[in-house]
Homo-oligomer: A and B are copies of this chain.
Amino acid sequence: MTAELEQIGKQAQAAAFKLGQLATTAKNQVLQAMAQALRTEQTAILTANQQDLLAADNLPQKFIDRLRLTSERIEQMAQGMEQVATLPDPVGTVERGWVNHAGLRIVQQHVPLGVVGIIYEARPNVTVDAAALCFKSGNAVILRGGKEALQTNLKLGAVMRQVLADFKQPVNAIQVISDPSHETAKRLMQLTKYLDVLIPRGSSRLIQAVVKQATVPVIETGAGNCHVYVDESADFAMAENIILNAKCQRPSVCNSMEKLLVHEKIAAAFLPELANKLRTAGVELRGDEKVQQLLGSTIVPATAADWDTEYNDLILAIKIVPSLTAAISHINQHGTKHSETIVTQNYENSEHFLTAVDAAAVYVNASTRFTDGFEYGFGAEIGISTQKLHARGPMGLPELTTTKYLVRGNGQIRK
């Protein structure tokens, strides 16, 4: 597989060279045709997916739910591609430009990253989604999805590649790795000669494994141990609304709330009613000693590990804090720098929280669930970066580009 992977890298690089110079209209035509092809090839895609599902028979139901394709899900994928076609093309946009002291005309322009590697779990929708975003931003993509989705991914890849061939565009703009071994995944993470960036998508376990093994630059995405802090000045009804939304609307995702911090002065007045509503919504409540004292024996005692755990489930750990400063310090120590919210009516506290909390997105009086490329109006999302380099927070198409300085002179030399 080493030689084969080398070949895949080389092909991707050659494709990327052509993609970088492709007109926006040409790219959009291909995306629209790919969407259509997904619909036309629905039966073949579902058959491939059936193979994967049969093999995955003894895996957990939640896992199988993500792996399973239906007509409706294929239609969603197709519509997603059409949506990407309507988005502005980031390639060629000028970041800034000026004339330097020597008269050089310098322009900083957006260009594709080049070759993007995506390592993800058994979610076939990522295959189509990532391929569409990379293609629109002029990048060649190498896809390495979870082995349980291999037949589905290979079929989806074949459908998209056929469209590229029909349009006489480089088919290796989209490549699905057919060898599902860990060894090959590891080699991909170290394919520095051909890969410009690696984006892992999935559980924090997957992401940490990639960060540890990769020599290719990685964009970390998705780990979210998000907090809501209810300040002593908070409007209780607003706080309740935000907490129920942030915790319950979609507990499995990274921007859902995992921890609640409450100012000690309002805990007794605020928590009992909230706890009832959360329980009614099916949320298991854990808490520190003060919370246990206040809410009684139904509260599961929170261990030290709880404060660092992303549940991705209907579980919430609650802590009572003596001050805003204590809340900020707890968040900066235990958070994953994803999304953090304060609920407050106090101007100074809101500004201090915004400044002092170190996270990709910091909110005043809003649900953490808004940290999302679509909610932010980007029209797409390749992931939510929780690192500080390159991109931070929801990443849309522009985040799949880099820049290049184009410098036009008339014979200038350096003194």
Hey, which bits of chain A sit against chain B, CB under 8 A? 17, 20-21, 98, 100-102, 104, 106, 108, 111, 113-114, 192, 196-197, 211-212, 215, 217-219, 235, 238, 241-242, 244-246, 249, 332, 350, 354-356, 358-367, 369-371, 375-377, 387-390, 392-393, 402-414
- Report yes or no: A403 in contact with B411, Cβ–Cβ below 8 A: no
Closest to A213 in B: B215
Measured between beta carbons, the chain B residues less than 8 angstroms from A21 are 355-356
- Interchain Cβ contacts under 8 Å between A and B, 25 examples: A20-B355, A100-B375, A100-B376, A101-B377, A102-B366, A102-B375, A104-B370, A111-B358, A113-B388, A217-B217, A217-B218, A217-B388, A242-B413, A362-B405, A362-B406, A364-B407, A364-B409, A366-B410, A366-B413, A369-B413, A369-B414, A370-B407, A370-B414, A390-B390, A392-B405
Question: Are B405 and A366 in contact (CB-based, < 8 A)?
Answer: no
Nearest CB of chain B from residue A396's CB, rounded to whole Å: 12
- In the docked arrangement, what's the CA distance between A219 and B362, Å? 26
- On whether A414 and B367 interact (CB within 8 A), knowing A332-B17, A389-B217, the answer reads yes
By CB atoms of chain B within 10 A, which of A111, A196, A212, A413 has the most?
A413
**Smallest CB separation, A164 vs chain B (Å):** 21
Of A104, A218, A361, A392, chain B has the most CB atoms within 10 Å of the CB of: A104
Chain B residues with CB under 8 Å of A369's CB are: 413-414
User: Top 5 closest A-B pairs, CB basis?
Assistant: A366-B409, A245-B413, A388-B402, A369-B414, A389-B390
Instruction: Report the minimal beta-carbon distance from A217 to chain B, rounded to whole angstroms.
Output: 5
Complex-state Cα separation, A108 to B238, whole angstroms? 25
- Taking CB atoms, residues of chain B closer than 8 Å to A20 are 355, 358
- Chain B residues near A376: list those with CB within 8 A: 100, 106, 405
User: Does the CB pair B404–A362 fall under 8 Å?
Assistant: yes
Question: Which residues on the B side are within 8 Å of A104 (C-beta)?
Answer: 366, 370
Q: How far is the CA of A235 from the CA of B108 in the complex (A)?
A: 26
Please state if A402 and B406 are interface contacts (CB–CB under 8 Å). no
Other-chain contact of A235, B245, B350, B411, B414 (Cβ < 8 Å):
B411
Q: Which residue of B lies closest to A21 (CB)?
A: B355
In angstroms, Cα B325 to Cα A21, docked, is: 14
Q: Is the CB of B361 within 8 A of A412?
A: no
A314 to chain B, nearest CB (A): 17
Nearest residue, chain B, Cβ from A363 = B407
Chain B contacts for A217, CB-based, 8 A: 217-218, 387-389
Collect the chain B residues with CB atoms within 8 Å of residue A388's CB: 113-114, 196-197, 217, 402
Task: Determine the chain B residues whose CB is within 8 A of the CB of A409 once the complex forms.
Answer: 363-366
Q: Is the CB of A404 within 8 A of B106?
A: no
| Contact A362 B407, beta carbon cutoff 8 Å | yes
Nearest Cβ in chain B — how far from A182, in angstroms? 19
Cβ-defined contact, A366 with B98, below 8 A: no
Residues of B within 8 A of A111 (CB): 358
Closest-by-CB residue of B relative to A413 is B245
Q: Is the CB of B404 within 8 A of A359?
A: yes
Q: Which of A212, A364, A411 has the most CB of B within 10 A?
A: A411
CA distance A215 to B212 in the complex (A): 6
> Complex formed: what's the CA distance from A359 to B389 in Å?
20
* Docked pose: A70 CA to B248 CA in angstroms: 65
B387 touching A392, Cβ below 8 Å: no
| CB neighbours of A370 from chain B (8 A) | 100, 102, 104, 407, 412, 414
